[in-house]
Structure 1
Amino acid sequence: MADRYLEYLSREHARLEDEIRLESKRPRPDEVMIARLKKLKLAVKDQMQNWASSHASSDRLTA
């Protein structure tokens, strides 16, 4: 299940990156929306890193 969660976060991160890219290409991009998307993307990245570090520490405990 944990791998599925990390896959979900990775897909969400890529989706947000695509939305940022598409909005940036518009003739008059919504800068507020881009800022919000970037904050969400950063939050997802933080979740991925937290999951990876907690998963790595639990692996060390069980090894």
Structure 2
Amino acid sequence: METSHVSALQLKHAGLERRIHEELSRPMPDDAVVQSLKKRKLRLKEELARH
């Protein structure tokens, strides 16, 4: 597996983590947005685990 591909996945994962935190920090977090971001983050984590 290319290191650059793994690095790109890790960056995307970190970006999603940040977006989840930002959404949860809002006065009225949007649960649908949070759930969507968490699902995307989980898929990235699973892909990283395969590599």
Q: CA offsets per residue over residues 8-63 of structure 1, 9 Å max, x none?
A: 00000000000000000000000000000000000000000012xxxxxxxxxxxx
Q: Secondary structure at the match of 1:28?
A: coil
TM-score, structure 2 as length reference: 0.96
**Larger RCO, structure (CA 8 Å, separation 6 or more):** 2
Higher helix share: 1
Q: How does 1:1-63 map to 2 (within 5 A)?
A: 2-51=2-51
> Structure 1 stretches of 5 or more lacking a match?
52-63
Aligned length: 51
Moved over 2 A (4+): none
> Structure 2 stretches of 5 or more lacking a match?
none
Aligned-residue CA RMSD (Å): 1.0
